């Protein structure tokens, strides 16, 4: 049979494409039924414990691959195979980025997915997150980073010991930029002695990340979906790692403090006193993130869009929203009658809501 008769214009030639034609739909075997014992157990778990463990686990997922990538890069700086065979700043940035995405995907459904004390504080300031939960969220986040640091040291211990011995023989301090302590926490370089410079670098890097996080989490933002938000947030961190890791940044109080405590166990308190820098790495993230989220809240947030998307309500309900539209001149009289169900003024009300995105063009919420 000629090709003219075998193939039509839109046909696929025989080969691997046969899977398209002959693909068999299969039914997944249903899982075991949920027992009452399991439901009772899950109901009995303290909510605060689940949230704490989720925050600790999320920070672990974020920090562990990141510092493991730093370890691989650092201890092979003098490798005869070349350090690029084992890592680079590009790889480190991706390790943190994907770790953050996995942390959000895995743990955010349980705790909300903060994974950063500064973000927890900002949620309390702007979004109504309970202040009573802030302390134990922060402790859990630091604990997650601490466990990540301990586990990484255990897994890389022979290599780190050999690297430390080589540095000691060469007269290089272990607490220095490029030393084993810097695998765990940020240690500035020899030329980075200006604390004001280090402060401003950390402040602007953290502000950049904070604005991206707040924009990615804004339900009125049409450019970020729920499924893409974890990767957008992770890439914001990676973006700053690629650009500024060479001049010392921390980006997260929990990440730095938790792993710095591990560094102190192995290399002494010098990790906290070195060049009086540690307070910048630990604390600057908080005011920087508050500044970033305030910038977004005051200059870029559109709360009417949030209400229209069904993600928020006016504090005084529909009556408060009507009053807002009326005061802005979007509605003329009849408000009281409308609220009483008489229908007068409803056209102006619906128009005002539609113009601000509260209703779509068909009048549906």
Amino acid 312: pLDDT: 73
Mean pLDDT, the chain, rounded, equals: 85
Within a 10 A sphere around the Cβ of 39, how many other Cβ atoms? 10
- Low-confidence winner among 238-247, 272-281, 312-321 (lowest mean pLDDT): 312-321
Average pLDDT over residues 18-25: 62
If pLDDT is split at 50, 70 and 90, which confidence band does 24 have? Answer: low
Instruction: Determine the pLDDT at residue 320.
Output: 76
CB atoms near residue 339 (< 10 Å): 14
Q: What is the pLDDT of residue 17?
A: 62
Residue bearing the bigger pLDDT, 282 or 354 = 282
Can you give the pLDDT at residue 86?
Answer: 66
> What tens digit of pLDDT does each residue of 35-68 get?
999 999 999 999 999 999 999 999 999 999 999 9
Give the per-residue pLDDT at 246.
87
pLDDT at residue number 78? 62
Instruction: Please give the pLDDT value at position 326.
Output: 78
Predicted local confidence at residue 337, as pLDDT: 39
126-140 pLDDT, tens digit per residue, is 999 999 999 999 999
Closest CA to 346 of 326, 317, 320: 326
- pLDDT for the residue numbered 146: 98
Q: What is the pLDDT of residue 330?
A: 62
Q: Are 65 and 171 in contact (CB under 8 A)?
A: no
List Cβ<8 Å contacts ≥24 apart for 211-215: 211/292, 211/293, 211/295, 211/296, 212/236, 213/119, 214/122, 214/292, 214/293, 214/296, 214/297, 215/296, 215/300
Q: Give percent above pLDDT 70 in the chain.
A: 80
pLDDT, average across residues 266-283: 95
Residue 339: pLDDT over 50: no
Residue 31: per-residue pLDDT: 81
Least confident interval from 98-107, 189-198, 225-234, 327-336: 327-336
* Residues 80-129: tens digit of each pLDDT: 665 566 678 899 999 999 999 999 999 999 999 999 999 999 999 999 99
Do 185 and 70 contact (CB within 8 A), yes or no? no
What pLDDT score does 328 carry?
A: 73
The confidence band for 290, taking pLDDT boundaries of 50, 70 and 90, is very high
Q: How far from the centroid of its chain's Cα atoms is residue 113's Cα?
A: 7
Top-confidence residue, 236 or 332: 236
């Amino acid at each position: 049979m000629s090709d003219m008769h075998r193939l039509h214009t839109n046909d696929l030639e025989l080969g691997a494409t046969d899977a398209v034609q002959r693909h068999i739909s299969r039914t997944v075997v249903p899982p075991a039924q949920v027992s009452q014992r399991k439901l009772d157990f899950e109901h009995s778990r303290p909510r605060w414990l689940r949230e704490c463990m989720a925050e600790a686990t999320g920070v672990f997922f974020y920090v562990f691959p990141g510092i493991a990538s730093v370890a691989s890069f650092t201890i092979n700086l003098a490798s005869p195979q070349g350090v690029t065979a084992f890592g680079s700043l590009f790889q480190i940035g991706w390790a943190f980025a994907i770790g953050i995405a996995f942390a959000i995907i895995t743990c955010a459904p349980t705790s909300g997915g903060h994974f950063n004390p500064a973000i927890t504080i900002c949620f309390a300031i702007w979004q109504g997150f309970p202040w009573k939960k802030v302390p134990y969220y922060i402790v859990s986040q630091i604990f997650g980073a601490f466990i990540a640091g301990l586990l990484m040291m255990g897994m890389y211990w022979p290599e780190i010991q050999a690297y430390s011995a080589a540095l000691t023989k060469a007269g290089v301090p272990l607490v220095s930029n490029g030393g084993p302590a810097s695998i765990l926490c940020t240690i500035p370089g020899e030329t980075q002695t200006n604390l004001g410079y280090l402060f401003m670098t950390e402040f602007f890097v953290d502000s950049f990340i904070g604005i991206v996080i707040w924009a990615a989490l804004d339900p009125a933002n049409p450019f970020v979906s729920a499924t893409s938000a974890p990767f957008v947030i992770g890439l914001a961190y990676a973006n700053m790692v690629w650009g500024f890791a060479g001049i010392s940044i921390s980006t997260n109080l929990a990440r730095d403090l938790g792993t710095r405590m591990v560094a102190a166990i192995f290399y002494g308190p010098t990790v906290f006193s070195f060049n009086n820098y540690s307070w910048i790495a630990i604390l600057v993230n908080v005011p920087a993130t508050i500044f970033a989220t305030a910038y977004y809240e005051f200059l870029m947030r559109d709360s009417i869009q949030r209400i229209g998307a069904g993600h928020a309500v006016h504090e005084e309900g529909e009556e408060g929203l009507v009053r807002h539209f009326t005061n802005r001149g979007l509605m003329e009289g009849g408000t009281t009658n409308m609220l009483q169900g008489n229908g007068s003024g409803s056209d102006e009300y619906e128009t005002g809501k539609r113009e601000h995105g509260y209703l779509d063009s068909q009048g549906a919420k």
